[in-house]
Chains A and B, each alone.
Chain A
Amino acid sequence: DSGVTQTPKHLITATGQRVTLRCSPRSGDLSVYWYQQSLDQGLQFLIHYYNGEERAKGNILERFSAQQFPDLHSELNLSSLELGDSALYFCASSSGTNSYNEQFFGPGTRLTVL
């Protein structure tokens, strides 16, 4: 157990819908990262937040947005869902912003868009 929690574990929804994925970082970690893992794209970085502020964006679609709240938990919002958005979404956390800070991954949320 990494100490990072994600809810829900599984999510099944229809095209065009909107969903929210939630992540709670390890106690004391200020950085939260979101990654998408799909069969064709592999593991891809989406976005990084540090203490409530956005630090970096990867190839995140405009239909996707995220935020980190004052209690440091983070939410990833996916809207106008398409079949291709079906994937495993991981949240990771680390203590700071140094590249050497290990990123601890949560168990993931499996999203299925029908």
Chain B
Amino acid sequence: GENVEQHPSTLSVQEGDSAVIKCTYSDSASNYFPWYKQELGKRPQLIIDIRSNVGEKKDQRIAVTLNKTAKHFSLHITETQPEDSAVYFCAAIHNNAGNMLTFGGGTRLMVKP
């Protein structure tokens, strides 16, 4: 089955700096890669996603890149703010696996004011 690895597990940045979280996946059949933000004790919320036929997608301060050949995808957050502090999860999914999301281990992002 699919295996998703995520790095780093914790990331501390100063407000205004950029943050990058990286993930790798194992199943070349995966075709959709969402990123979720989870605040303490709350539900995961989708913040951005990318399909396998797209190399990059941007939404304001958040961008995601995908390298299908290397099976890598990354989340980039620019001009970080204290409210960006949360746990971020990458995930991979493909139709043939019953739409189950396979999550990475999560990255705890701390933005220091």
**Residues of A with Cβ closer than 8 Å to B?**
2, 31, 33, 35, 42-45, 48, 55-58, 90, 94, 97-108
Distance, CA A106 to CA B43, complexed state (A): 6
Other-chain residue from B32, B36, B42, B99 in contact with A55 (beta carbon distance below 8 A) = B99
Q: How would you classify the secondary structure of chain A's contact residues: helix, strand, loop or mixed? A: strand
Q: Which residues of B contact A103 (CB under 8 A)?
A: 34, 46, 99, 101
- Of the listed residues B43, B89, B105, B106, the one surrounded by the most CB atoms of chain A closer than 10 A to its CB is B43
Other-chain residue from B42, B46, B99, B102 in contact with A33 (beta carbon distance below 8 A) = B99
Q: State whether B100 touches A102 (Cβ < 8 A).
A: no
Total interface residues on B, CB under 8 Å, equals: 25
Distance, CA A103 to CA B31, complexed state (A): 15
Return 14 A-B CB contacts under 8 Å, by A number.
A42-B106, A44-B103, A45-B100, A48-B98, A55-B98, A56-B97, A57-B98, A98-B99, A99-B93, A99-B94, A99-B99, A102-B34, A103-B101, A105-B43
Q: Which residues of B contact A2 (CB under 8 A)?
A: 43, 45
* Nearest-Cβ distance from residue B44 to partner chain A, whole angstroms: 5
A2-B43, A99-B94 as given contacts; A94 in contact with B34, CB under 8 Å: no
The answer to whether B69 has its CB under 8 Å from any CB of chain A is no
* Nearest-Cβ distance from residue A12 to partner chain B, whole angstroms: 16
* Nearest-Cβ distance from residue A84 to partner chain B, whole angstroms: 18
* Nearest-Cβ distance from residue B41 to partner chain A, whole angstroms: 8
Q: Which residues of A contact B100 (CB under 8 A)?
A: 33, 45, 48, 56, 58
Q: Which residues of B contact A100 (CB under 8 A)?
A: 32, 51
Distance, CA A48 to CA B102, complexed state (A): 13
Q: State whether A105 touches B45 (Cβ < 8 A).
A: yes
Q: State whether B49 touches A107 (Cβ < 8 A).
A: no
Q: State whether A94 touches B105 (Cβ < 8 A).
A: no
Q: State whether A90 touches B44 (Cβ < 8 A).
A: yes
